[in-house]
Chains A and B, each alone.
Chain A
């Protein structure tokens, strides 16, 4: 039951299993991304197909020697090269002492070049994320939480309006803010079922042992190197999601949002005119 508190009410928005799953996922995604970049650094080139055509990666993050300015970090995307010295390809230290590494040490776990340790981190937290997601999905399916994420007819009818509102950074207030809006629902469904299943299956496709039973997936993705590329792109998609997610958290009241994801309680202002008149 909502509790009256002046003209503010608090609402129990996030149940405990949901909050736990959220924070476990947050920690796992953070570590998976940074240990993933450590693994990427071991061979900072991406290809399409089954095998690597070393002459034609579609993405390369490495260093090149130039006559004018010596060694430079670069990102090459389909042959188009961009100098990125200091961050990508070449970073840390000064000039000649800089490290030739795709992602800089402050973006990888561990910081230094250490593939075996990066793999240990990556696989441990991959298991943790998969177990966490499985438990969450079972709970969500039985508790009715998952149904909350499915857009209703009214949601679809208001889709255009919701897009416009998001673009103008206009967000639901009052009672409406206690429910997920349609773009939010679609984003969560896309991340969990779209990117989530994509990143897990492309990850498994990189395993030569699992490939003995995953030939359909491999064919679907276009081969192991394609699976590796899609794994990287899906991770990039998750990064984009987190950026937008954090942006929305901040513009819709960071402390209130943070509290609701820690204690479950979300505070909102009642929006009926009747109430406001009385409270004022």
Chain B
């Protein structure tokens, strides 16, 4: 065999092999048993991150001069539901946050009551799953202080945040959930101020979640109610969040 034909055969084989591999990867991506195996990588990441890092480990806090000149507005930036439009038109004066579910003491809180809760101000880095980061100064009610007042019942495991925005081509309601470990974390806030001013609508007014050790999609904007639950199997698509129902990991630590 001459070198030339040998080379062209190798080349052709490599080319076909490459194409077949990529087509194979695409069809495997649509094969449930295979994607179940693939997602075990993300489960392993979740377990490893919880094993390696302390429960109360703090996200880094930055200095004033590190604040991004503009905090990017991503995902929904202006909810169109009539309920939300009415609230926004009146500058959220009629806004009431409902906290219920598996709690001893359900509560309805207006903005004044939320602002009266023990608060925290922190300058943190926000990491989007797309890859970018922005630094902002957040002020908000500490979620652990609110939990103390509503008193979750024994067995309660998650907090589900129901939002005002309908997102994506399906126009379905945004929602998210976190576990008690994150809910009790000192940096977990129901944020109402960004960089010293009332939270803009583009960033989630009147109230958005800050869970500083996870990615941006966990930090629900336009929160209308908080439901304490034992399981989120029967909420939305059953995966614990809008993006989780679309294939993203529930624990977004990486």
Contact = CB atoms under 8 A, between A and B. Distances in A.
A123 interface: yes
B22 A124 contact: no
Given A115-B129, A117-B35, A124-B40, A210 B60 contact: no
Nearest to B218: A208
Contacts of A241: none
A109 interface: yes
A116 B125 contact: no
A114 interface: yes
A125 B132 contact: no
Given A110-B25, A206-B254, A42 B134 contact: no
A26 to B, nearest CB: 12
Contacts of B247: 116-117, 120
Given A120-B42, A208-B253, A212-B58, A54 B243 contact: no
Contacts of A209: 49, 53, 213-214, 253-254
Interface string B45-76: 10001001110011110100010101010000
A43 B49 contact: no
B210 to A, nearest CB: 11
Nearest to A105: B22
A52 B41 contact: no
A40 B129 CA distance: 11
Contacts of B59: 208, 211-212
Interface string A33-77: 010000110110101001111100000000000000000000000
A263 interface: no
A125 B41 CA distance: 8
Given A208-B127, A208-B213, A120 B254 contact: no
B233 interface: no
Interface of A: 30-31, 34, 39-40, 42-43, 45, 47, 50-54, 106, 109-112, 114-117, 119-121, 123-128, 204, 206-213, 215, 218, 224-225, 228, 254
